[in-house]
Amino acid sequence: MVLGRFLRSGTSSKQDPLFKIVKKITGLTPNDLSLYRRVFTHTSMEKMDEDGKRINYERLEFLGDSLISTIVAAYLFHQMPQKNEGSLTLMRSKIVRREFLNKIGAELRLISHLSSNVPKENYGRDVHGNMFEAIVGAVYLDMGFEACSRFVYDAMITPHVDLSLLHHRVLSHKSLLVDWFQKNKLAYCFDTFREDRKGEKNYYVAKLWVDGRLVASAGGTNKKKATEKAAKRGYYHFQHRIKEIKTKH
């Protein structure tokens, strides 16, 4: 029995514009439109239900995140029968990374249907991935795991997941470099500091020093982004010498 039958608080109407929107996005016929209204409601709307609970996509986002991880894990388990737990975990991380989920959400144009009191130009990119997770959660509650899995396959895995390409993708250039520096007994340092720039509220610069020599520098809106960008530039500096450990990251 579909879990959504126990959780529905609304009904579906083919005349409701949301019905057509959801069907076009998911390729599935929705039953409970109230779930999808939550998907397309931003926290800034400050909506409440009759029980005083907030109406927005955040709880569905939490659920969808776990479902995507589970569906991708099952996919990898069957597609990579010779790989151990560590390899499967790393590959799953490459697929469910925030950047990738943001891409899927943006392609589905979910944000175009979002009700919000915040101008769209003020959103961060993560809103796309958050909404994708939320609609996955809504599909699960509305139609069950099989339909939810089919949607994730159709929207994400089948058109976008190429295991041969992902095998060579680096998740963290900093992690890769640190491993290589330590293995080769090279002295290194990431020097990160805030820099005042006109028109930039938060801007950080990271510099990578190796054996007392400046190898790369980069900037970003926080320390983590600046450091990773500097590490990526440093990686290209040492790329021809790093190949043997690349697949570990």
Angle, vertex CA 81, rays to CA 80 and CA 86, nearest 5: 70
H-only helix segments in 40-162: 58-79, 85-95, 98-107, 126-143, 145-152, 158-160
Amino acid identity, residue 112?
S
41 phi, psi to nearest 5 deg: -120, 120
CA atoms 198, 204, 208, 209: torsion sign: positive
Is 170:239 a contact under the CB 8 Å cutoff? no
> Is the Cα torsion angle 224, 230, 235, 236 positive or negative in sign?
positive
131, with CB counted inside 10 A (0-12, 13-18, 19+), is buried
Alpha-carbon distance of 47 to 67, in angstroms, equals 26
Strand 54-55 versus strand 204-210 pairing type: unpaired
- Number of alpha carbons in the 13 Å side-chain half-sphere of residue 15: 0
> Could you give the CA distance from residue 172 to residue 194 in angstroms, rounded to a whole number?
22
What DSSP line would sit under 105-127, residue for residue?
HHHTTGGGG-B-SS-GGG--THH
Active site residues: 65, 133
